[in-house]
Amino acid sequence: MFQDGDPCPCVSLVDKVQSASRHRGRMSNTVTSIIIETRIYDGQKPGTSGLRKAVQVFMQEHYTENFIQAILQALGDKLFGSTLVVGGDGRYYVKEAVEKIIKIAAANGVKKLIIGQNGILSTPAVSTIIRKYKTLGGIVLTASHNPGGPDADFGIKFNCENGGPAPDYVTNKIYDITKVLKNYKTISDISIDISKIQSTVIQVDGNSFIVDIIDSVNDYLEYMKNIFDFSSIKTLLQGNNDHPPFKVLINAMNGVTGPYVKRIFSNELGVDNSSIVNAIPLEDFGGLHPDPNLTYARDLVNAMKNGPYDFGKKAFFVTPSDSLAVLAANLNAIPYFKKTGIKGYARSMPTGAAVDRVAAKNGIKFYEVPTGWKYFGNLMDAGLLSLCGEESFGTGSDHIREKDGIWACLAWLSIIANLRKSVEDILLNHWQTYGRNFFTRYDYENCDSEAANRMMQHIESEIQKPEFINSKLISENKVYVVKSSDNYSYVDPVDGSQVSKQGLRILFQDGSRIIYRLSGTGSSGATIRVYVDSYEDDPTSLNKDAQEILKPLVTIALKISNLREFTGRDAPTVIT
């Protein structure tokens, strides 16, 4: 299940720029920047994945410009003469935002922008390009799993020079600037066709300003071919005398992943085009919800269940927590890790603890971090981490500093090619070796924010009572003894930075967990997330349905929270 075209020859950015330099256009000999007076907008505080709001909010006069100016100002003295990457997921308002970024970056002394053709760059591709060409960072135009279209959502986030999301001190600085911003710099006399691969040079306030429009896929494709054994994966997918073709179905959900799927899986690996669907990026994702969970990707689930596919046969579902653990146990199937070695594993705090057990059994360092990919970046930069993941379907490694769905798919295919087993057999063997962490997440979307906050306050007051520790919580003849409870806080082992209030946790003596969080990725209202995780090593339980095993603990979680009383919700919007 993916999101991210346009086939074209695979050449390096340097070659493309050199080729294009003979045809560089000039808008005029000299362009002068101007200063526009603006008004302050409240609430431009980036969340765990940047600033996300409704499109109509971003379309307000000066709103987008204010936030872009704040990002650039936050870069301080490093900004002048710098290079930045710009790209997005193809959703509605990306092209308009790119146009604004070009003008504001030019006026603020940026030397070069590297922009994906049509404004399209997957987030992993942005991270790849930042790191490959050692740019100051990148502006990513995405609201990730939020819907797209004129009546849906938009988002802007900044990735730093390591290729990863801006850390808290940077996003806090951006937010502080938005609260006092009185004007922004821009240029009126620029119009660049971002649908055409080209390089344009403009003289702005006496300085050269370069805009390179590049192929969206080339650099990322080249990198994947250095990480994985494409010939082995191709043999798996196409078959040979020893085994039939391994059939897959890839749904790019009309998002930014489409061009990457076409070039990598069709052109390079020979997957038939009939096995690739919804591969053209659309501004509203074709009306599809871009969150690839079992609710919103129901059509894909049904196709897997009823079709002749080997990857996900009979719709055998692998949770993100289990996927991370299986990858961790089999990283040596990937050439990249044979070269770099395995340094450590990490997961976000709410993610099921399956990978913990792989780390413990194999003597690999393990880290638990708050939700947000930026927390993995410090560990990677310090050489402590090779593989990480979140329960929201995000998985990645230290090859870049972002989650990477294409990478995860290629990693799984590498493991299948190496083990010559079905996905189901790989999971069953894994559970027999490590036991199984049954995991589920209940999402209650667009709840009243005040009611959601009151509910969280109620839960925290309950779990902080002294008598709560060692208490026995009973449901359906299952007894869970509370070991500890807290509002999760984190101290970064690399730089000592601290973050608090990252989610309410109830930890039980048998290793089970209940976690409550308010999501920071929605554009309106509040999303309440309830996570339930329970470990079983009884061989007779390993194949059972997760909802059946977790029902007693889910009942306890809902009872403690009084969620129905606070929100009026009888059922979650999504169950993962």
State pLDDT tens for residues 202-211: 999 999 999 9
Same domain flag for 229 and 349: no
pLDDT of residue 29: 61
Helices (H), 421-473: 423-434, 449-463
Regarding whether 220 and 161 lie in a shared domain, the answer is no
Q: 59 and 189, same structural domain?
A: yes
Report, in angstroms and rounded to the nearest whole number, the Rg of the chain calculated over CA atoms. 24
Does 3 reside within a domain?
no
Catalytic residue among 49, 122, 127, 144: 144
Average pLDDT, the chain: 91
Same domain, 115 and 198: yes
30, 287 in Cβ contact below 8 A?
no
3-state class (DSSP) for residue 522: coil
Instruction: Please check whether residues 310 and 457 belong to one and the same domain.
Output: no
Q: State residue 317's pLDDT score.
A: 83
Is residue 9 in some structural domain? no
Least confident of 42-46, 123-127, 143-147, 385-389: 143-147
Whether 8 is in a domain gets the answer: no
Is 228 found in the same domain as 358? Answer: no
Contacts of residue 100, Cβ cutoff 8 Å, sequence gap at least 6 = 64, 65, 68, 186
Torsion of CA 451, 178, 208, 15, to 10 degrees: -20
CA–CA dist 48, 509 (Å, integer): 31
Same domain, 535 and 483: yes
d(CA 241, CA 232): 14
Q: Are strands 366-369 and 345-348 parallel, antiparallel or unpaired?
A: parallel
CATH of the domain at 255: 3.40.120.10
Residue 379 in contact with residue 493, Cβ under 8 Å? yes
Q: What percent of the chain has pLDDT over 90?
A: 79
Answer yes or no: is pLDDT of 364 > 70. Answer: yes
Give the Cα-Cα-Cα angle 526, 530, 152 (nearest 5 degrees).
Answer: 35
Closest CA to 165 of 14, 369, 407, 408: 369
For residue 48, pLDDT beyond 80: no
Res 314: pLDDT: 66
* 43 has a pLDDT exceeding 50: yes
Shared-domain flag, residues 133 and 253: no
Domain that holds residue 75: 30-214
275/267 Cα distance (integer angstroms) = 13
412-424 confidence digits (pLDDT tens):
999 999 999 999 9
Q: Answer with the one of 293, 316, 339 that is the final residue of a domain.
A: 316
**CATH number of 504's domain:** 3.30.310.50
Average pLDDT over residues 321-346: 97
pLDDT digits (tens, 9 = 90+) for 245-281: 999 999 999 999 999 999 999 999 999 999 999 999 9
Q: Is the pLDDT of residue 222 over 90?
A: yes
pLDDT of residue 520: 55
Does the pLDDT at position 400 exceed 90?
Answer: yes
DSSP state of 467: G
Name the domain boundary from 274, 296, 316.
Answer: 316
Express each pLDDT in 550-576 by its tens digit: 999 999 999 999 999 999 999 999 888
Q: Last residue of some domain: 214, 233, 259?
A: 214
pLDDT confidence of residue 537? 87
* Contact yes or no for 314/388 (Cβ under 8 A): no
What is the mean predicted confidence (pLDDT) over 432-447? 93
Is the model more confident about 574 or about 68? 68
Bridge partners (DSSP) listed for residue 441? 531
Note the pLDDT of residue 49: 77
- How far apart are alpha carbons 560 and 348 in whole angstroms? 23
Is the distance from CB of 562 to CB of 305 less than 8 angstroms?
no
Shared domain for 328 and 206, answered yes or no, is no
Residue 18 has pLDDT above 80, yes or no: no
Encoded amino acid at 495, one letter: D
Please tell me the predicted confidence (pLDDT) of residue 210. 97
Beta-carbon contacts of 548 under 8 Å, excluding residues fewer than 6 positions away, are none
Residues 80, 172, single domain; the answer is yes
- Map 246-301 to HEC letters: CCCCEECCCCCCHHHHHHHHHHHCCCCHHHEECCCCCCCHHHCCCCCCCCCCHHHH
CB 464 within 8 A of CB 485: yes
Residue 342: how many other CB atoms lie within 10 Å? 18
On whether residue 2 sits in a domain, the answer given is no
Q: Assess whether pLDDT exceeds 60 at residue 3.
A: no
Question: Of the ranges 15-29, 136-150, 157-171, 214-228, which one carries the lowest mean pLDDT score?
Answer: 15-29
512 is known as an active-site residue: no
Residue 27 has pLDDT above 50, yes or no: no
What tokens does 562 get?
């009084």
The answer to whether residues 195 and 55 belong to one domain is: yes
Q: Using CA atoms, how far apart are residues 252 and 250, in angstroms rounded to an integer?
A: 6
541 assigned to some structural domain = yes
Q: What is the pLDDT of residues 148-207, one digit of tens each?
A: 999 999 999 999 999 999 988 999 999 999 999 999 999 987 889 999 999 999 999 999
Inside any domain, residue 102: yes
Band (293; pLDDT cuts 50, 70, 90): confident
Domain count within the chain: 4
Residues 501-525 pLDDT 10s: 999 999 999 999 999 999 855 556 7
Could you please report the per-residue DSSP string of 56-97? Answer: HHHTSTTHHHHHHHHHHHHTGGGSTT-EEEEEE-S-TTHHHH
Q: Is residue 21 predicted with pLDDT exceeding 90? A: no
Q: Are residues 107 and 181 in the same domain?
A: yes
Terminal Cα-to-Cα distance of the chain (whole angstroms): 14
